[in-house]
């Protein structure tokens, strides 16, 4: 077993190297809040693809897919997880250009929600989005602390403190620019390390034939692509991940940082292809753990990847896997920290002077990081934490995004649709059983499939009814007029040439209506 001192030392060296790269990359390049949270139109295809891959493939890739393969349906479940990871990327390749055209000077999904739907829906979306991203961040910290504890007995609080402090340092300093550059480096290192880990596992276990025979002997359904339990898991995880990623501010940031629409489409599609084999490789460690008869009780299914590594591989490979895990968690943690800060910062002009925005964004980054470190040190099921956050998003993403396409969805209808979907999902959600009224829990089956499909179907159905029945329309052109740069400048122009933020705020708070048609709009005319 690798000693705790060696693993902790390797962790410190890794995060210090990443911190140095991030800080140097951002040095002298963060002149205002726009640079900090959007880095608008600055990222080419190669860097954008790398940051998409690194940001989407956080430390969770070593936990949730393997847990799914071990406990939720073998190969079929892993394949569903891989598909679920790719589908949001494909969706953004189509959705991203529309966001850029309708809101060319935008920053966040919450400011879109405010301008399009009004205060109530904005508050709901803000709560759901931040809750999801914070949960994602906390799950990443939970995963890495659990992994290093299993590998070498490193105390959870030490891992959380070291990784969290390092990521916080360069993210609070360099913002999105630092995150993107470190993602590029991490992608170049992570991909070979993941391939080495999988190859070393196969060699240690006697090759693919031996591994296949042991898994089939343990449970043939683990490698059955048509296994019903695995297909069911795959079906609801696609809905869960799609809904969650639609409300992930990290992707909205990267929509704006792309240098062009063509770059955006190409990068998201390439990333969609790239993540599939990565999830498959990591997820197969779950069935392998079952085939080897390793102990996965007591919540150890969520660390099945590391159970296989520690039980079958030499110390050098175990240490390399520890470094891989640290790199993965930093690649997603910096993205999430900056995304959470940017969501709130985009709305801060209503509360603070523009000169204070960058400092306020940095303070928010610190606060979120400290909270995530505290949660990550506790130790929870990574997959259970993710699924809880995913349910919130699955009930919200259809009403939220419908406003980008239909002028007939109103603020009140979008909120009602989201809440109705959430109620429907919670009624079936297995994790919610302890808090449900006994009569409800007894009358409805506990099913993740029903929960996620129910949440999406109900919210989508109410939204469709609103589109068909709403009287009046919203002028989508108002989004461009009402959402402007935070520094008061037009893209590439001097300060003062962009939309007047004071005017926007007055309108958004219920002032003069600047373009609604009828009574169906959001923006200033509809604050329901």
Q: What is the pLDDT of residues 172-224, one digit of tens each?
A: 777 778 888 888 888 888 888 888 878 887 888 888 888 888 888 888 888 88
Q: What whole-number distance in Å separates Cα of residue 114 and Cα of residue 519?
A: 17
Query: Do 37 and 106 touch, CB atoms closer than 8 A?
Result: no
Catalogue all structural domains in the chain, each as residue range(s) with its CATH number.
4-394 (1.20.1730.10)
Mean pLDDT of the chain: 79
Residue 155 to residue 263: CA distance in whole angstroms = 43
Task: State the Cα–Cα distance between residues 310 and 290, nearest whole angstrom.
Answer: 15
- Calculate mean pLDDT across residues 401-412: 92
Rounded Cα–Cα distance for residues 464 and 408 (Å): 10
What is the gyration radius of the CA atoms in the chain, in angstroms? 23
| Least confident stretch, 332-341, 378-387, 424-433 | 378-387
Instruction: Tell me the pLDDT band of 354, cut-offs 50, 70 and 90.
Output: very low
Length of the chain: 528
Is residue 441 scored above 70 in pLDDT? no
- Whether the model clears a pTM of 0.85, i.e. scores above it, the answer is no
CB 404 within 8 A of CB 480: no
Structure tokens at 125: 């979306």
* 8 Å CB contact between 122 and 304: no
Confidence of residue 442 (pLDDT cuts 50, 70, 90): low
Per residue in 1-35, pLDDT tens? 778 888 889 889 988 888 888 888 777 766 677 77
- For residues 411 and 120, is the Cβ–Cβ distance under 8 A? yes
pLDDT in the model for residue 48: 92
Asked if residue 223 lies in contact with residue 86, where contact means CB atoms within 8 angstroms, the answer is no
Provide mean pLDDT across the span 424-439.
79
What is the arithmetic mean of pLDDT over 261-290? 91
The band of 42, judged by pLDDT with boundaries at 50, 70 and 90, is confident
% of the chain with per-residue pLDDT over 90? 20
User: How many C-beta atoms surround the C-beta of residue 22 within 10 A?
Assistant: 28
- For residue 517, the model assigns a pLDDT of 36
**What's 353's DSSP letter?**
-
**Residue 438: how many other CB atoms lie within 10 Å:** 8
Residue 91 has pLDDT above 90, yes or no: yes
Angle, in degrees to the nearest 10, between helices 45-56 and 315-345: 110
Band of pLDDT at residue 360, cut at 50, 70 and 90: low
Q: What is the pLDDT of residue 369?
A: 62
Contact 170, 19 (CB under 8 A): yes
Report for 194-203, 343-352, 495-504: range of highest mean pLDDT: 194-203
Chain centre to alpha carbon of residue 16? 24
Identify the three-state secondary structure at position 445.
coil
Q: Are 351 and 43 in contact (CB under 8 A)?
A: no
Tokens matching residue 302:
């969520």
pLDDT of 256: 92
């Amino acid at each position: 077993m690798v000693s705790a001192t060696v693993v902790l030392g390797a962790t410190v060296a890794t995060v210090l190297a990443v911190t140095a790269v991030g800080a140097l990359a951002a040095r002298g390049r963060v002149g205002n809040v726009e640079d900090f949270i959007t880095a608008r139109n600055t990222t080419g295809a190669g860097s954008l693809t790398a940051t998409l891959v690194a940001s989407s493939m956080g430390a969770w890739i070593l936990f949730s897919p393997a847990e799914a393969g071990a406990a939720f349906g073998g190969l079929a479940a892993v394949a569903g997880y891989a598909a679920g990871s790719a589908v949001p990327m494909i969706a953004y390749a189509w959705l991203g250009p529309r966001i850029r055209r309708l809101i060319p000077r935008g920053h966040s999904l919450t400011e879109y929600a405010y301008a399009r739907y009004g205060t109530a829906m904005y508050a709901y979306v803000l709560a759901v989005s931040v809750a999801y991203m914070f949960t994602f961040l906390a799950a990443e910290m939970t995963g890495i602390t659990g992994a290093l504890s299993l590998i070498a007995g490193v105390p959870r609080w030490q891992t959380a403190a070291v990784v969290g402090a390092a990521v916080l340092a360069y993210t609070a300093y360099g913002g999105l620019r630092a995150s993107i550059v470190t993602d590029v480096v991490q992608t170049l290192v992570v991909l070979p390390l993941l391939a080495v880990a999988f190859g070393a596992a196969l060699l240690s276990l006697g090759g693919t034939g031996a591994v296949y025979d042991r898994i089939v002997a343990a449970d043939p359904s683990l490698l059955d692509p048509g296994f019903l339990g695995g297909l069911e898991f795959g079906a609801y995880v696609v809905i869960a991940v799609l809904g969650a990623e639609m409300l992930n501010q990290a992707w909205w940031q990267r929509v704006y940082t792309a240098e062009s629409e063509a770059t955006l489409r190409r990068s998201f599609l390439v990333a969609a292809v790239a993540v599939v084999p990565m999830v498959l490789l990591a997820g197969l460690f779950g069935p392998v753990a079952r085939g080897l008869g390793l102990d996965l009780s007591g919540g150890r299914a969520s660390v099945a990847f590391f159970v296989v590594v520690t039980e079958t591989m030499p110390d050098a490979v175990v240490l390399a896997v520890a470094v891989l895990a640290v790199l993965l968690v930093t690649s997603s943690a910096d993205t999430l920290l900056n995304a959470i800060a940017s969501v709130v910062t985009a709305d801060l002009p209503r509360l603070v002077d523009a000169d204070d925005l960058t400092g306020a964004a940095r303070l928010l980054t610190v606060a979120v990081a400290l909270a995530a470190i505290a949660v990550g040190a506790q130790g929870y099921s990574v997959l259970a934490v993710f699924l809880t956050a995913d349910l919130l998003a699955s009930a919200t993403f259809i009403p939220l995004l419908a406003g980008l396409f239909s002028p007939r969805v109103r603020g009140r209808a979008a909120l009602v649709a989201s809440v109705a979907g959430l109620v429907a999902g919670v009624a079936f959600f297995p994790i919610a059983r302890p808090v449900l009224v006994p009569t409800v829990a007894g009358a409805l089956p506990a099913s993740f499939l029903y929960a996620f499909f129910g949440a999406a179907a109900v919210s989508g159905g109410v939204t469709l009814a609103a589109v068909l029945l709403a009287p009046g329309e919203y002028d989508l052109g108002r989004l461009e007029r009402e959402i402007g740069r935070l520094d008061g400048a037009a893209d590439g122009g001097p300060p003062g040439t962009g939309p007047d933020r004071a005017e926007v705020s007055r309108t958004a708070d219920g002032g003069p209506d600047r373009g609604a048609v009828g009574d169906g709009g959001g923006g200033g005319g509809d604050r329901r």
